[in-house]
Protein backbone atom coordinates (compact mmCIF):
# COMPACT_ATOMS: atom_id res chain seq x y z
CA UNK A 1 0.00 0.00 0.00
CA UNK A 2 1.34 3.42 -0.94
CA UNK A 3 0.92 6.22 1.59
CA UNK A 4 1.30 9.66 0.00
CA UNK A 5 1.10 13.11 1.58
CA UNK A 6 0.64 16.25 -0.50
CA UNK A 7 2.26 18.87 1.76
CA UNK A 8 3.14 22.57 1.64
CA UNK A 9 5.02 24.59 4.21
CA UNK A 10 2.43 27.38 4.04
CA UNK A 11 -0.99 27.92 2.57
CA UNK A 12 -1.48 29.24 -0.96
CA UNK A 13 0.91 26.85 -2.69
CA UNK A 14 -1.88 25.31 -4.75
CA UNK A 15 -1.33 21.99 -2.96
CA UNK A 16 -4.95 20.78 -2.95
CA UNK A 17 -5.45 21.76 -6.58
CA UNK A 18 -2.27 19.92 -7.52
CA UNK A 19 -3.39 16.80 -5.65
CA UNK A 20 -6.83 17.11 -7.26
CA UNK A 21 -5.11 16.99 -10.67
CA UNK A 22 -2.60 14.23 -9.92
CA UNK A 23 -4.99 11.77 -8.21
CA UNK A 24 -7.06 11.08 -11.39
CA UNK A 25 -3.86 10.19 -13.29
CA UNK A 26 -2.56 7.98 -10.48
CA UNK A 27 -5.91 6.19 -10.43
CA UNK A 28 -6.48 5.74 -14.16
CA UNK A 29 -2.94 5.20 -15.44
CA UNK A 30 -1.14 3.52 -12.55
CA UNK A 31 -3.17 2.16 -9.62
CA UNK A 32 -6.51 1.27 -11.27
CA UNK A 33 -8.49 0.89 -8.04
CA UNK A 34 -11.78 -0.97 -7.69
CA UNK A 35 -14.71 -0.78 -5.30
CA UNK A 36 -13.28 -3.82 -3.51
CA UNK A 37 -9.78 -2.26 -3.29
CA UNK A 38 -10.34 1.51 -3.45
CA UNK A 39 -7.96 4.43 -3.11
CA UNK A 40 -8.71 6.40 0.06
CA UNK A 41 -8.15 10.17 -0.03
CA UNK A 42 -7.81 11.75 3.43
CA UNK A 43 -8.41 15.48 3.95
CA UNK A 44 -6.38 16.51 7.02
CA UNK A 45 -6.50 20.23 6.24
CA UNK A 46 -9.24 20.91 8.77
CA UNK A 47 -8.84 24.70 8.54
CA UNK A 48 -9.92 24.88 4.91
CA UNK A 49 -11.26 21.39 4.07
CA UNK A 50 -9.96 22.08 0.56
CA UNK A 51 -10.18 18.60 -0.95
CA UNK A 52 -13.61 18.00 0.58
CA UNK A 53 -14.86 21.11 -1.23
CA UNK A 54 -13.07 20.39 -4.51
CA UNK A 55 -14.86 17.04 -4.89
CA UNK A 56 -18.13 18.67 -3.74
CA UNK A 57 -18.52 16.38 -0.74
CA UNK A 58 -18.96 19.02 1.96
CA UNK A 59 -22.71 18.40 2.36
CA UNK A 60 -22.09 14.69 2.94
CA UNK A 61 -19.69 15.18 5.86
CA UNK A 62 -20.99 14.14 9.29
CA UNK A 63 -19.59 14.16 12.82
CA UNK A 64 -18.74 10.47 12.52
CA UNK A 65 -17.27 10.09 8.99
CA UNK A 66 -14.61 12.83 9.19
CA UNK A 67 -10.89 12.89 9.96
CA UNK A 68 -11.48 14.67 13.28
CA UNK A 69 -13.60 11.74 14.47
CA UNK A 70 -11.03 9.15 13.33
CA UNK A 71 -8.16 10.89 15.13
CA UNK A 72 -10.09 11.66 18.29
CA UNK A 73 -11.62 8.26 19.00
CA UNK A 74 -10.32 4.67 19.06
CA UNK A 75 -10.51 3.09 15.60
CA UNK A 76 -12.79 0.07 15.28
CA UNK A 77 -10.56 -2.83 14.22
CA UNK A 78 -13.32 -5.46 14.26
CA UNK A 79 -13.29 -7.76 11.27
CA UNK A 80 -15.73 -7.15 8.43
CA UNK A 81 -15.92 -9.03 5.13
CA UNK A 82 -15.39 -5.91 2.99
CA UNK A 83 -14.79 -2.18 3.04
CA UNK A 84 -18.49 -1.64 2.40
CA UNK A 85 -19.36 -3.57 5.56
CA UNK A 86 -16.79 -2.05 7.93
CA UNK A 87 -18.48 0.20 10.53
CA UNK A 88 -16.22 3.19 9.79
CA UNK A 89 -14.92 2.63 6.26
CA UNK A 90 -18.47 2.12 5.01
CA UNK A 91 -19.18 5.75 5.94
CA UNK A 92 -16.49 7.15 3.64
CA UNK A 93 -17.78 9.15 0.68
CA UNK A 94 -17.49 7.68 -2.85
CA UNK A 95 -15.87 10.34 -5.06
CA UNK A 96 -14.41 8.43 -8.03
CA UNK A 97 -16.60 10.29 -10.52
CA UNK A 98 -15.32 13.64 -9.20
CA UNK A 99 -11.83 12.54 -10.28
CA UNK A 100 -13.10 11.38 -13.66
CA UNK A 101 -12.98 7.70 -12.65
CA UNK A 102 -15.85 5.59 -13.96
CA UNK A 103 -16.33 3.49 -10.83
CA UNK A 104 -17.43 5.98 -8.18
CA UNK A 105 -16.78 3.63 -5.24
CA UNK A 106 -13.18 3.02 -6.39
CA UNK A 107 -12.03 6.27 -4.76
CA UNK A 108 -13.29 7.06 -1.26
CA UNK A 109 -12.92 10.32 0.67
CA UNK A 110 -12.28 10.59 4.40
CA UNK A 111 -13.26 14.26 4.62
CA UNK A 112 -12.56 17.07 7.04
CA UNK A 113 -15.48 18.79 8.73
CA UNK A 114 -15.68 22.56 8.99
CA UNK A 115 -15.45 24.06 12.50
CA UNK A 116 -14.83 20.77 14.26
CA UNK A 117 -11.87 20.07 16.52
CA UNK A 118 -10.45 16.62 17.15
CA UNK A 119 -12.21 14.24 19.51
CA UNK A 120 -15.29 14.34 21.68
CA UNK A 121 -13.67 16.73 24.15
CA UNK A 122 -12.91 19.28 21.38
CA UNK A 123 -9.16 19.16 21.90
CA UNK A 124 -7.26 21.80 19.98
CA UNK A 125 -6.22 20.63 16.52
CA UNK A 126 -2.61 21.67 17.13
CA UNK A 127 -2.12 20.39 20.69
CA UNK A 128 -0.70 17.14 22.03
CA UNK A 129 3.05 17.40 21.35
CA UNK A 130 2.87 17.95 17.62
CA UNK A 131 -0.07 15.64 17.12
CA UNK A 132 1.64 12.30 17.57
CA UNK A 133 -0.80 11.26 20.31
CA UNK A 134 -3.33 11.05 17.46
CA UNK A 135 -1.18 8.56 15.58
CA UNK A 136 -2.55 5.50 17.38
CA UNK A 137 -5.97 5.72 15.73
CA UNK A 138 -4.48 6.65 12.37
CA UNK A 139 -2.04 3.74 12.52
CA UNK A 140 -4.87 1.32 13.34
CA UNK A 141 -6.80 2.73 10.38
CA UNK A 142 -3.82 2.28 8.04
CA UNK A 143 -3.08 -1.23 9.33
CA UNK A 144 -6.66 -2.30 8.63
CA UNK A 145 -6.58 -0.72 5.15
CA UNK A 146 -3.31 -2.44 4.27
CA UNK A 147 -3.60 -5.88 5.83
CA UNK A 148 -7.30 -6.59 5.78
CA UNK A 149 -8.65 -4.87 2.68
CA UNK A 150 -5.63 -4.58 0.38
CA UNK A 151 -6.14 -0.85 -0.15
CA UNK A 152 -3.64 0.16 -2.89
CA UNK A 153 -3.08 3.75 -1.72
CA UNK A 154 -4.00 6.19 1.02
CA UNK A 155 -3.44 9.78 -0.11
CA UNK A 156 -3.38 12.69 2.35
CA UNK A 157 -4.17 16.29 1.47
CA UNK A 158 -2.12 17.59 4.38
CA UNK A 159 -2.41 20.61 6.58
CA UNK A 160 0.44 23.13 6.36
CA UNK A 161 3.75 23.72 8.12
CA UNK A 162 5.00 22.09 11.30
CA UNK A 163 1.51 21.62 12.78
CA UNK A 164 -0.05 18.56 14.38
CA UNK A 165 -2.11 17.55 11.38
CA UNK A 166 0.73 18.12 8.92
CA UNK A 167 3.02 16.07 11.14
CA UNK A 168 0.67 13.11 11.36
CA UNK A 169 0.03 13.14 7.59
CA UNK A 170 3.74 13.22 6.85
CA UNK A 171 4.61 10.67 9.53
CA UNK A 172 1.99 8.27 8.15
CA UNK A 173 3.22 8.74 4.57
CA UNK A 174 6.24 7.14 2.96
CA UNK A 175 6.05 9.56 0.00
CA UNK A 176 5.76 13.29 0.73
CA UNK A 177 5.08 15.62 -2.20
CA UNK A 178 6.48 19.01 -1.11
CA UNK A 179 4.62 21.73 -3.00
CA UNK A 180 5.96 25.31 -3.12
CA UNK A 181 5.52 28.41 -5.18
CA UNK A 182 8.77 29.92 -6.54
CA UNK A 183 8.84 32.81 -4.05
CA UNK A 184 11.18 33.61 -1.16
CA UNK A 185 8.56 32.78 1.50
CA UNK A 186 7.70 29.39 0.06
CA UNK A 187 11.20 28.32 -0.97
CA UNK A 188 12.94 29.40 2.24
CA UNK A 189 10.15 28.04 4.43
CA UNK A 190 10.20 24.66 2.68
CA UNK A 191 13.99 24.58 2.92
CA UNK A 192 13.88 25.30 6.68
CA UNK A 193 11.25 22.62 7.20
CA UNK A 194 13.33 19.99 5.41
CA UNK A 195 16.44 21.03 7.34
CA UNK A 196 14.42 20.48 10.51
CA UNK A 197 13.42 17.02 9.30
CA UNK A 198 17.07 16.18 8.62
CA UNK A 199 18.38 17.56 11.93
CA UNK A 200 15.64 16.64 14.41
CA UNK A 201 14.65 12.98 14.48
CA UNK A 202 11.66 13.89 16.64
CA UNK A 203 9.99 15.73 13.74
CA UNK A 204 9.58 12.71 11.45
CA UNK A 205 10.97 9.23 11.35
CA UNK A 206 13.45 8.56 8.53
CA UNK A 207 13.20 6.67 5.26
CA UNK A 208 10.81 9.15 3.65
CA UNK A 209 10.75 9.96 -0.05
CA UNK A 210 10.43 13.73 -0.61
CA UNK A 211 9.32 14.80 -4.10
CA UNK A 212 10.05 18.52 -4.56
CA UNK A 213 7.45 20.26 -6.73
CA UNK A 214 7.57 23.97 -7.62
CA UNK A 215 4.02 24.97 -8.48
CA UNK A 216 2.21 27.87 -10.19
CA UNK A 217 5.31 28.78 -12.23
CA UNK A 218 4.78 31.97 -14.31
CA UNK A 219 5.50 31.43 -17.99
CA UNK A 220 6.18 35.08 -18.86
CA UNK A 221 9.65 36.50 -18.29
CA UNK A 222 10.08 39.50 -15.99
CA UNK A 223 13.25 41.40 -15.01
CA UNK A 224 13.66 42.35 -11.33
CA UNK A 225 16.87 43.95 -10.04
CA UNK A 226 18.61 42.95 -13.27
CA UNK A 227 17.68 39.29 -12.77
CA UNK A 228 15.50 37.47 -15.28
CA UNK A 229 12.65 35.48 -13.77
CA UNK A 230 11.64 32.66 -13.74
CA UNK A 231 15.20 31.66 -14.76
CA UNK A 232 16.80 33.22 -11.64
CA UNK A 233 14.35 31.44 -9.34
CA UNK A 234 14.80 28.12 -11.14
CA UNK A 235 18.56 28.33 -10.73
CA UNK A 236 18.40 29.22 -7.01
CA UNK A 237 15.84 26.52 -6.17
CA UNK A 238 17.80 23.81 -7.99
CA UNK A 239 21.11 24.76 -6.36
CA UNK A 240 19.76 25.25 -2.82
CA UNK A 241 17.81 22.00 -2.61
CA UNK A 242 20.20 19.72 -4.46
CA UNK A 243 23.23 21.04 -2.55
CA UNK A 244 21.69 20.58 0.89
CA UNK A 245 19.61 17.42 0.48
CA UNK A 246 21.00 15.31 -2.35
CA UNK A 247 23.33 13.40 -0.02
CA UNK A 248 20.84 12.84 2.82
CA UNK A 249 21.45 9.58 4.68
CA UNK A 250 18.04 9.63 6.40
CA UNK A 251 15.67 10.26 3.50
CA UNK A 252 15.51 10.17 -0.30
CA UNK A 253 14.94 13.35 -2.27
CA UNK A 254 13.52 13.35 -5.79
CA UNK A 255 14.56 16.35 -7.91
CA UNK A 256 12.89 15.31 -11.18
CA UNK A 257 10.46 18.23 -11.09
CA UNK A 258 13.40 20.67 -10.81
CA UNK A 259 14.66 19.84 -14.31
CA UNK A 260 15.29 23.28 -15.87
CA UNK A 261 13.76 22.14 -19.16
CA UNK A 262 10.58 20.87 -17.46
CA UNK A 263 10.54 22.90 -14.27
CA UNK A 264 7.60 22.36 -11.94
CA UNK A 265 3.96 22.94 -12.79
CA UNK A 266 3.07 26.03 -14.87
CA UNK A 267 0.55 28.55 -13.63
CA UNK A 268 -2.94 27.84 -15.01
CA UNK A 269 -5.11 30.91 -15.48
CA UNK A 270 -8.41 29.09 -15.05
CA UNK A 271 -7.36 28.09 -11.51
CA UNK A 272 -7.49 31.78 -10.56
CA UNK A 273 -11.28 31.40 -10.79
CA UNK A 274 -12.17 27.73 -10.56
CA UNK A 275 -10.10 24.66 -9.70
CA UNK A 276 -10.63 21.93 -12.28
CA UNK A 277 -9.14 18.48 -12.74
CA UNK A 278 -7.62 18.95 -16.19
CA UNK A 279 -7.39 15.19 -16.76
CA UNK A 280 -11.18 14.98 -16.76
CA UNK A 281 -11.56 17.61 -19.51
CA UNK A 282 -11.60 16.90 -23.27
CA UNK A 283 -8.16 17.79 -24.61
CA UNK A 284 -9.82 19.98 -27.23
CA UNK A 285 -11.09 22.20 -24.38
CA UNK A 286 -7.59 22.85 -23.03
CA UNK A 287 -5.32 25.67 -24.16
CA UNK A 288 -1.61 25.09 -24.75
CA UNK A 289 -0.64 26.11 -21.23
CA UNK A 290 -3.22 23.77 -19.71
CA UNK A 291 -1.98 20.92 -21.91
CA UNK A 292 1.54 21.61 -20.63
CA UNK A 293 0.30 21.56 -17.02
CA UNK A 294 -1.48 18.26 -17.67
CA UNK A 295 1.73 16.72 -19.00
CA UNK A 296 3.60 17.87 -15.90
CA UNK A 297 0.87 16.36 -13.69
CA UNK A 298 1.32 13.14 -15.63
CA UNK A 299 5.09 13.30 -15.08
CA UNK A 300 4.59 13.80 -11.33
CA UNK A 301 2.09 10.93 -11.13
CA UNK A 302 4.62 8.61 -12.76
CA UNK A 303 7.37 9.72 -10.36
CA UNK A 304 5.10 8.89 -7.41
CA UNK A 305 3.97 5.57 -8.91
CA UNK A 306 7.55 4.49 -9.61
CA UNK A 307 8.78 5.06 -6.06
CA UNK A 308 9.17 1.68 -4.38
CA UNK A 309 8.09 2.57 -0.85
CA UNK A 310 5.17 0.74 0.71
CA UNK A 311 3.55 1.35 4.09
How far apart are alpha carbons 16 and 291 in whole angstroms? 19
Per-residue pLDDT of the chain (311 residues; tens, 9 = 90+): 999 999 999 999 999 999 999 999 999 999 999 999 999 999 999 888 999 999 999 999 999 999 999 988 888 888 899 999 999 999 999 999 999 999 999 999 999 998 887 754 444 444 444 444 678 889 999 999 999 999 999 999 999 988 888 989 999 999 999 999 999 999 999 999 999 999 887 778 879 999 999 999 998 889 999 988 889 999 999 999 999 999 999 999 999 999 999 999 999 999 999 999 999 999 999 999 999 999 999 999 999 999 999 88
Residue 88: name the closest of 18, 47, 140 by CA: 140
Chain Cα centroid distance, residue 30: 17
SS3 21: helix
Q: Which domains are assigned to the chain?
A: 2-306 (3.40.50.300)
Residue 18: name the closest of 309, 298, 303 by CA: 298
Residues 113/47, Cβ–Cβ less than 8 Å: no
pLDDT of residue 11: 92
Q: What are phi and psi of 36, to 5 degrees?
A: -80, -30
Residues 88/153, Cβ–Cβ less than 8 Å: no
Residues 70/139, Cβ–Cβ less than 8 Å: no
pLDDT of residue 294: 98
Task: Please tell me whether the overall predicted TM-score, pTM, comes out greater than 0.85 for this model.
Answer: yes
pLDDT of residue 133: 63
pLDDT of residue 206: 79
SS3 19: helix
pLDDT of residue 26: 98
pLDDT of residue 134: 79
Burial class (CB in 10 A: 0-12, 13-18, 19+), 278: buried
Length of the chain: 311
Residues 94/103, Cβ–Cβ less than 8 Å: no
Amino acid sequence: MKTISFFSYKGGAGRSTLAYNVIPILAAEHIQPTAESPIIVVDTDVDSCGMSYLVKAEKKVTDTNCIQHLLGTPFDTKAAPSVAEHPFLSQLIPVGNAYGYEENEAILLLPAKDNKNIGKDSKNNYAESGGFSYMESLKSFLDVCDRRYDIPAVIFDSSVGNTALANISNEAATIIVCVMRPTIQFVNGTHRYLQGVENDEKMLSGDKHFVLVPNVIPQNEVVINDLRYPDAAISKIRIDFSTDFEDSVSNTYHFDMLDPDEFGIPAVNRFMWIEDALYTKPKSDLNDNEKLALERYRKLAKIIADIDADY
